[in-house]
Amino acid sequence: MYKLLAIIFIISISLNNSTNAQKKGCVKGNCKNGWGIFEYYVGDIYQGRYEGFFSDSKRNGKGIFYYSNDDKYHGNWVDGRPHGLGAKISRTGKIKSGTWSKGKLIMRLKKELIIECITGVCTDGFGRSKDNYGNNYKGNFLNGQYSGYGEMNYNNGERYKGIWHKGVPHGQGSYYFRNGHVNTGKFENGKYAENKMKIWALIVGVADYPNFGNLSYTTNDAKLVYSFLRSIEGGAVPENQIKLLLDDDANAFNIMNTAADLYEQSDSNDLIIFYFAGHGKNGAFLPYDYDGIENNLLHHGLINSLLKDSPAKYKLCAIDACHSGSFDMNMVLSYKEYLNSYKINGEEALVSLTRSTKNIRERIKDYYNSFNGIKGGLALIMSSASEEISLEANKLKQGVFSYYFIQAMKGAANKADINGKKDNIIDITELYEFVEKNVRNFTFGFQHPLIFGQYDKHMPVGIMKK
């Protein structure tokens, strides 16, 4: 098999594949029953050239076909199609070799893995090795195979670190893609086994500022968002995956520390949510302990750092604060540096009641399943532009943004398709379009919610009641 692959590659490079637009049909040899060269056209459009054996005027036996796009197939032919042992080489050098049937590759030719031990013990012990594919491994071996904990740096720039068994990832581990995405969880026989998706949420509301003007409805807004996420429609988020911080609990350190604690528990198939209702200024949100001047600010860069550092696939940030539109996606402040200036304080977990029936479990399952196939990303919805303030309304007894945000999440944003049917799933696009339109109309154009980030426009955020 090795020799075949080498011969195919050498022949494919050495043979001349230049086209001759002046010649059509059989240009050399016997193209009926024997060896010949035949050039194929559809009208005046050149399709490719075959050099090989013919039988009954069809490609039969060994031969090479040079396609017009500079791909090549070298191998066996039956009735004009690749059939048997052969290889197709793309113009980029990628090779698909193995057994073909009626023009399709049905069994790839597997190349034997050869491991070269660089240091240590690569039979039964710990060592470093390099294989004939150019991949570098450091970790444990058993019977000459990767086994136990180890880290592989692949030749394409990606890497895996975690548990191995019989030479492949098998067990808990993380696979790091070149684009920055990470799959963390359980691997089975070399493939990532999709983890059950979880939601992690931090909900913050500040109304009674000791050193700044008080607000009327922000803590109530936060409670309503919290209650929604604990409900069936919000995904029935378990109490150990969601935190509610109100007023004096919502100081700068507590917000950051709680967010870090929650989000670091997420993995690559999870959704994290950050919601803040309170005062804001350009470049920062104001926690409870804001001194009214410049101390204890909750800088946008700190929130951005925590969101970007999380391995979660889906990220939603919703802010009901003045000047929230000044959020800069490129501003990142290190949480570790922030943490060094504070002492670690304890915190109590919040307790909430849950209900469970078979019907409810099925609805929750439908919601979580709606994330399948979604690319993910980070979406930030801000209540107002950078130069605007966010309004509270006595008529609504809520912040205007938060009122329509919650209404949207509960189902008001769900749109019907062209057939008049609703899918009962609220996605991020429906959420924003509903909130933006209604907030703008309610405030007579005074307040304009914004959305930005890199996200899948179909990312689910809630389900409707049935």
8 A C-beta contact, residue 235 and residue 296 = no
Stated pTM of the model: 0.54
177 and 274 part of one domain: no
Q: Which of 56-60, 175-179, 363-367 has the highest mean pLDDT?
A: 56-60
Percentage of the chain surpassing pLDDT 90? 23
Per-residue pLDDT reduced to its tens digit, 205-242: 999 988 888 888 899 999 999 998 888 777 788 888 99
pLDDT of 19 reads 36
pLDDT of 37 reads 94
CATH number of the domain encompassing residue 65: 2.20.110
Q: For the chain, first and last CA: distance in Å?
A: 60
216 and 172 part of one domain: no
Per-residue pLDDT reduced to its tens digit, 70-106: 889 988 999 999 998 888 888 766 778 888 888 888 8
448 and 389 part of one domain: yes
Task: Name the domain boundary from 165, 193, 221.
Answer: 193
Question: What is the extent of the structural domain holding 312?
Answer: 199-463
Q: Which of 17-26, 432-441, 455-464 has the highest mean pLDDT?
A: 432-441
Task: Name the domain boundary from 160, 176, 193.
Answer: 193
102 and 123 part of one domain: no
258 and 399 part of one domain: yes
Instruction: Measure the CA dihedral 177/182/183/185, to 10°.
Output: 140
In the predicted model, is pLDDT for residue 409 greater than 80? yes
pLDDT of 331 reads 44
212 and 94 part of one domain: no
Per-residue pLDDT reduced to its tens digit, 423-451: 777 888 888 999 999 988 888 888 888 88
8 A C-beta contact, residue 372 and residue 195 = no
Tally of domains in the chain? 3
pLDDT band of residue 275 (cuts 50, 70, 90) is very high
79 and 128 part of one domain: no
Best CA proximity match to 185, nearest among 175, 177, 429:
175
CATH number of the domain encompassing residue 148: 2.20.110.10
Q: Three-state secondary structure along the chain?
A: CHHHHHHHHHHHHHCCCCCCCCCCEEEEECCCCEEEEEEEEECCEEEEEEEEEEECCEEEEEEEEEECCCCEEEEEEECCEEEEEEEEECCCCCEEEEEEECCEEEEECCCCCCEEEEEECCCCEEEEEEECCCCEEEEEEECCEEEEEEEEECCCCCEEEEEEECCEEEEEEEEECCCCCEEEEEEECCEEECCCCCEEEEEEECCCCCCCCCCCCHHHHHHHHHHHHHCCCCCCCCHHHEEEEEHHHCCHHHHHHHHHHHHCCCCCCCEEEEEEECCEECCEECCCCCCCCCCCCEEHHHHHHHHHHCCCCEEEEEEECCCHHHCCCCCCCCHHHHHCCCCCCCCCCCCCCCCCCHHHHHHHHHHHHCCCCCCCEEEEEECCCCCCCCCEECCCCEEHHHHHHHHHHHHHCCCECCCCCECCEEEHHHHHHHHHHHHHHHCCCCCCCEEEEEECCCCEEEECCC
247 and 149 part of one domain: no
- Residue located via tokens 């040899």: 29
183 and 205 part of one domain: no
pLDDT band of residue 204 (cuts 50, 70, 90) is very high
185 and 207 part of one domain: no
pLDDT band of residue 463 (cuts 50, 70, 90) is low
pLDDT of 198 reads 83
44 and 121 part of one domain: no
CA distance 204 to 319: 10
In the predicted model, is pLDDT for residue 22 greater than 50? no
Distance of CA 433 to the CA centre of its chain: 23
pLDDT of 194 reads 63
Over residues 35-42, mean pLDDT = 90
Over residues 179-208, mean pLDDT = 81
Question: Within the chain, what is the greatest distance between any pair of CA atoms?
Answer: 96
169 and 101 part of one domain: no
Cα separations in angstroms, 366 against 118, 463, 464 = 50, 9, 11
Q: Which residue has the higher pLDDT, 366 or 126?
A: 126
CA distance 170 to 166: 8
Over residues 152-164, mean pLDDT = 90
CATH number of the domain encompassing residue 454: 3.40.50.1460
Task: Name the domain boundary from 135, 164, 193.
Answer: 193
In the predicted model, is pLDDT for residue 133 greater than 90? no
Over residues 304-314, mean pLDDT = 79
pLDDT of 406 reads 86
pLDDT of 290 reads 86
Mean pLDDT value across the chain = 77
Lowest mean pLDDT among 220-229, 240-249, 353-362, 398-407: 353-362
In the predicted model, is pLDDT for residue 10 greater than 80? no
In the predicted model, is pLDDT for residue 381 greater than 50? yes
Q: Which residue has the higher pLDDT, 447 or 418?
A: 447
pLDDT of 42 reads 79
Other beta carbons within 10 Å of 156: 11
